[in-house]
Amino acid sequence: MIARLLGGLVIGAGVGALLGYFGKCTSGRCPLTANPVRGAVLGGVFGVLVVWPCGRECKPRLEAAPGTGEQGNATNQVETGAVVHVTDEDGFSKHVLQAKLPCLADFFSNSCPPCRMLGPTIEAIADRYKGKAVVCKVSLDHKATHGLARKYDIAGIPTVLFFENGKEAQRLVGLQSEEEYVRVLDEMTQTTGR
């Protein structure tokens, strides 16, 4: 995070200084092009502001699997609470396609603000349907899941796919209300008798 902020500061200051040096502001009112020092200061501030919202969320991380003491990697599936985090096609096949219960699969990216907004909703749904449905989060931040995105025609995220007996039953694209996801899962769990 610090390195990213410093990088934004240095790049922004450099660009601002160049604009100040080569700028043609003769009145002195143009903050970036008045002089190199003002340009560097304002450019540095802009650089930090551009990088700041990214924070830690831009870098995908997996938590340690419960009880293992090991850090997750791109080939592990990590279960946090009632949600299964899928990071490759084998995990998708195991947890989604071979699931005996109806399954909700949330295709997301950590760099997508609507996906981050949907996260707590998916967690709540997973807790609510524990034992009745499988709830998975499929991270598209991993190259190992890009084939899944192509296979299931994921054009925009968040996209939530619902699976029954290994086949896609329904999909909701974009950020929806919790009630929409619950409605679909209720229909699926009622038809399977759970």
Tokens of 47: 């650089």
Q: pLDDT band for 102, please (50, 70, 90 cuts).
A: very high
Give first-to-last CA distance, the chain, whole Å: 45
Nearest alpha-carbon partner for 46 in 1, 11, 81, 97: 11
Q: Note the pTM of the prediction, 2 decimals.
A: 0.58
Catalytic machinery residues: 112, 115
Return the higher-pLDDT residue of 159 and 40: 159
The answer to whether 79 touches 63, Cβ cutoff 8 Å, is no
The number of angstroms, rounded, from the C-alpha of 100 to the middle of its chain's C-alpha atoms is: 27
Domain limits of the chain?
2-58, 78-191
Class of the 78-191 domain?
alpha beta
**pLDDT of 152:** 93
pLDDT in tens, 143-191: 898 999 999 999 889 999 999 999 999 999 999 999 999 999 999 988 6
Q: pLDDT band for 48, please (50, 70, 90 cuts).
A: low
Percent of the chain with pLDDT over 90: 45
The answer to whether 48 touches 64, Cβ cutoff 8 Å, is no
**pLDDT of 172:** 93
